[in-house]
Amino acid sequence: MISKATIDTVFETARVEEVIGDFVQLKRAGSNFKGLSPFSDERSPSFMVSPAKGIWKDFSSGKGGNSIAFLMEHEHFTYPEAIRYLAKKYNIEIEETEQTDQEKANTDVRESMYLVSEFAKTYFHNTLLNSEEGKAIGYSYFKERGFTGETIKKFGLGYSPETWDAFTKEALGKGYKMEFLESTGLTIGREDRPFDRFKGRVMFPIQSMSGRVLGFGGRILTNDKKAAKYLNSPESEIYHKSKVLYGIFQAKQSIAKLNNCYLVEGYTDVIQFNQAGIENVVASSGTALTPDQIRLVNRLTKNITVLFDGDAAGLRASIRGIDLILEEGMNVKVCTFPQGEDPDSFAKKTSYDDLVAYLENNAKDFIQFKASLLMNEAKNDPIKKADLIRDMVTSISKIPDRIQREIYIQECSRIMDISEQVLVSTLAQLTQKEVAEVAKKQKPEQKTFDVIKNETPESTEKVDVLANVEREIIRILLLYGNKIENFEETLMKSNEEGEIIEVTEFKEQKVFQKIFLSLQEDEVEFASPVFKAIYEDLINYYLQNENSGVEKYINHLQSGVPQEITTIMMEDEKYVLHDWIRQNIFPKTIEETLNQGVSDTLFTLRWFLISEIIENLKNSISNEPDADNMESLSMVMSYIELRGKFSKKLGRVVVRYH
């Protein structure tokens, strides 16, 4: 179990924008950062990170929290895993305390699979470097490919012995369970003799964006025609081939920094490019490109350059993935290598400067590439040329941005020597057809002569003003709880003539003290159970930590930050998302007049609570002119008078919502 001292050090050291910046491309927006949501498919940023508050908020999915919460949501870490990840990132030494039996029992299936996979990576790597068989076969192979020792270490490359069950025996001997060896696909179970899936292969660990081992790719080195050249881990609870890109862990920072991602096909293409000095490269691992893989890149950059082998065979089928990239609203370029070369071989024999220059000079916009590739097939055949043009317009129709579509139509018109009007007309037909198909799928079939009833709209949801006021109190406590302000107080004192008069004085208090004492004096309790729980937790926190800010409070919530808290704290960041300031709209914040804002909020709460009392008293009064009714009527008049004073204090008539 990780000690509290280590956890506290991690919380104090970790910077939310740095942690999230490893997974999401963030751009500065005032004092905050914004980016595309990593939890939903979107093209306009709704993901905000506040370094000052130490939290993030995804307005599209509603999720939010601190650094730990992000890792738990995005990487599916457990709480201890997230702490360990951050400790490793910031070079913090982890102090351990002994785990209880219950804590050991709580380790779930996924965690066990991750642990087995991490052990396998270490085992295969050590076997490659330290065993006679590993050095003679595996290490020699990687050296022949031109990989240095540093590169082999960087990618955790390994070797699985030729012996049928060498890895399985070692894992079982170390206490790993057979069920997890089988569920990860590392061992193929047989009652008589379980055996290693990857025996006799060099190993390529496949890692998540955070570096967790998800699965493996293994390449056979013999000429056994019955065995597959490359073998991947099977689909499992932690490994989904269509959602993973090989090399994303090593490439993520470079992709975000250079704002471009090179996409290749194989493991060795990625490794050779890295060794040549180009780190912003990932591979689809020989599978057809999927939307999930594209979105993985989209979190880091809007720009993809697809690298193809010089061999044109099968190239047309490969470029189908370009349409998927365009659908995600990304910018696509394509670069091919000379005949007979692939990214691996070309990078191996080319210097860094020459490789960079080649990629820059030969990367074509997708429309130019598609035209040059398909024009050779069309040549002087009008029918084929028409098909080619239609093919290109189909690709353009996938682009969500209308301005980009128009620019590409103009470019296509120039390249193909055909009028823009014809292309625009074709594009319109394709777009209308797609819209009609989508509408048809979404619209339920209507039988002939079916009578359709006019549904009356539901009554507008009542505005719960009391909940809104309680929510505002929580917001003030979260953002300004420990801030000192001069608050106006009205006291009843006797003058020289002995008359009771109102006297206004100013008293310096912390915001949380003002709210706490005011509500305690009026014996007010929150109506909302959620806000009541947060209020009590916040007051207790401030009473014990009078000199601490909201960041420490967020870290104090180690069981997880309630969604309501991040929503409240990041509410103002919507102004940044909508870029109101650039439109000369300047929303006024409560901080500008904090003491007045706190007082107004408390008066508003009292106003509504008194209004509730008045309504209840009115409902209890009957038509009988008895003493009880007269007393209730008198109380109503007194409360109405008091409510009038609050309205005067607020400087406005408060409208009651029903």
For the chain, the domains span 4-105, 109-239, 248-437, 465-607
For residue 527, give the DSSP letter.
S
Closest CA to 572 of 480, 470, 486: 480
C-alpha angle 426-428-433 in degrees, rounded to nearest 5: 100
- Cβ neighbors of 114 (< 8 A, separation 6 or more) are 212, 213, 238
Helix (DSSP H) and strand (DSSP E) numbers for the chain: 30, 18
Torsion of CA 540, 546, 547, 548, to 10 degrees: 10
pLDDT of residue 246: 96
pLDDT of residue 453: 46
**CA distance linking residue 26 with residue 121, whole number of Å:** 32
Closest CA to 488 of 501, 507, 503: 507
**CA distance linking residue 463 with residue 571, whole number of Å:** 19
- How far, CA to CA in Å, does 23 sit from each of 92, 256, 299? 21, 9, 7
Q: pTM of this prediction?
A: 0.65
Top CATH class of 4-105 equals alpha beta
Give the three-state DSSP class for 346.
helix
**CA distance linking residue 240 with residue 234, whole number of Å:** 8
pLDDT of residue 447: 45
Point out which residues pair with 96 in neighbouring strands: 2
Give the three-state DSSP class for 233.
coil
pLDDT of residue 449: 39
pLDDT of residue 510: 85
Q: Are 284 and 275 in contact (CB under 8 A)?
A: no
CATH architecture of the domain 109-239 equals: Alpha-Beta Complex (3.90)
Compute mean pLDDT per 10 residues along the chain, 658 residues long, and list them.
Answer: 84 90 88 87 84 84 86 81 90 78 63 94 97 96 96 97 95 94 93 90 94 94 84 93 93 88 94 96 84 88 87 61 86 90 93 95 87 70 81 86 86 84 85 58 46 43 68 86 79 61 74 82 78 84 73 65 74 57 48 74 78 74 63 70 63 43
The third-level CATH classification (topology) of the domain covering 248-437 is Dna Topoisomerase Vi A Subunit; Chain: A, domain 2 (3.40.1360)
Tokens of 109: 């299936």
Q: Are 317 and 265 in contact (CB under 8 A)?
A: no
Q: Are 272 and 250 in contact (CB under 8 A)?
A: no
Phi-psi region of 247 (alpha: psi -120 to 50; beta: other; left: phi over 0): left
Instruction: Please state, as a whole number, how many other Cβ atoms lie within 10 Å of the Cβ of residue 286.
Output: 13
